[in-house]
């Protein structure tokens, strides 16, 4: 995370050039600052769990949201309109994985541990790397997942554009290169419709991860291949994909949908990899409709 004495992007920009239109990443940006953060100790590690201060507390309508690579649960702040109807638990994977587990294995065990205090059954919404966790969790614990929403789904690295995946590692570029590359990467992932405060949110949270932890999570993605097991899923599933996603191509979403029995596929044509941040109204409408049709 950036320190208070770090030079600002504006100070580091060459004279005569306009710095990237991204707010200071040290601060929580407008729209992402209304969330309540709780730290839960689970298996000796700390998990940040964000909730909406006036959201539903009905455990039977719980939706656990798992963010993408390097992001926190706070990235789901634009889902606030759904908080009256659903108990949204915006989960942030632990910042460090013990050497005894891969990040995927560790996150699955933490999610399923009694100390997580999750209800016996809940809906699961995962974005990108979070979709990989969601798929793996639903396969391991099918009786606990009542509905599944996969956003920009990552089920196999064979369906991920490796160049874009490599580009995503530039959020860890050392300062001052971080100021050059990180906003660009966030812009590529979020697309032109991602607001500046959304880009700042992605950049700030990605810089909280150590280079080693990010590398270990990338290895999870590179090793992933759940395509042959998607047919085992027997849970109502919605897949949401951006038509301009530069990391997970639309064909990958179609492939996942074709392999999951009864899966619904929704495209947001002008969205990129983070549709819940860039196109919240359309995204929330589709998720709300899906969850309303699959309450149990």
Break the chain into its structural domains and give their ranges: 28-293
Sequence-separated (6 or more) residues with CB below 8 Å from residue 34: 52, 53, 77, 80
- Tokens read off for 152: 């920009």
As a residue count, the chain comes to 296
Kindly report the CATH number that applies to the domain delimited by 28-293: 3.40.50.1820
Locate all alpha helices (DSSP H) within the chain, ordered by sequence: 9-12, 103-112, 129-140, 162-168, 177-190, 196-206, 211-223, 250-259, 275-278, 280-293
Structural element, H or E, at residue 17: none
Question: Is 205 in a helix, a strand, or coil?
Answer: helix
Which of the four pLDDT bands, split at 50, 70 and 90, describes residue 30? confident
| Higher per-residue confidence, 294 vs 211 | 294
* Interval 210-222 mean pLDDT: 80
Structural element, H or E, at residue 13: none
Residue 173 has pLDDT above 60, yes or no: no
What are 237's strand-pairing partners? 148
* Interval 254-279 mean pLDDT: 95
Q: Which of 141, 234, 247 is nearest to 189 (CA)?
A: 247
Could you give the CA distance from residue 171 to residue 223 in angstroms, rounded to a whole number? 21
Given this model, what pLDDT does residue 130 score?
Answer: 95
């Amino acid at each position: 995370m950036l320190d208070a004495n770090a030079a600002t992007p504006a100070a580091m920009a060459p004279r005569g050039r306009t710095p990237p239109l991204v707010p200071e990443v040290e601060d929580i940006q407008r729209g992402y600052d209304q969330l309540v953060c709780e730290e839960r100790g689970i298996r000796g590690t700390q998990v940040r769990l964000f909730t909406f201060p006036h959201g539903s507390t009905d455990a039977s309508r719980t939706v656990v949201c798992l963010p993408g690579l390097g992001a926190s649960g706070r990235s789901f702040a634009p889902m606030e309109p759904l908080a009256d109807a659903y108990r949204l638990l915006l989960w942030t994977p632990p910042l460090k994985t013990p050497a005894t587990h891969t990040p995927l294995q560790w996150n699955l065990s933490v999610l399923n541990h009694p100390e997580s205090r999750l209800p016996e059954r809940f809906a699961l919404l995962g974005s990108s790397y979070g979709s990989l966790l969601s798929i793996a969790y639903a396969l391991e614990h099918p009786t606990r997942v009542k509905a599944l929403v996969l956003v920009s789904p990552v089920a196999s690295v064979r369906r991920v554009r490796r160049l874009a995946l490599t580009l995503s590692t530039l959020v860890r570029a050392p300062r001052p290169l971080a100021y050059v590359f990180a906003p660009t990467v966030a812009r590529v992932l979020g697309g032109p419709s991602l607001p500046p405060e959304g880009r700042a949110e992605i950049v700030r949270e990605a810089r909280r991860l150590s280079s080693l932890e990010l590398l270990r999570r990338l290895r999870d993605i590179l090793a992933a291949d759940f395509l042959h097991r998607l047919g085992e899923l027997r849970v109502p599933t919605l897949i949401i994909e951006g038509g301009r996603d530069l990391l997970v191509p639309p064909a990958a979403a179609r492939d996942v949908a074709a392999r999951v029995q009864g899966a619904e596929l929704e495209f947001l044509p002008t969205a990129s990899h983070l549709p819940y941040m860039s196109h919240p109204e359309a995204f929330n409408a589709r998720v709300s409709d899906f969850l309303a049709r699959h309450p149990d």
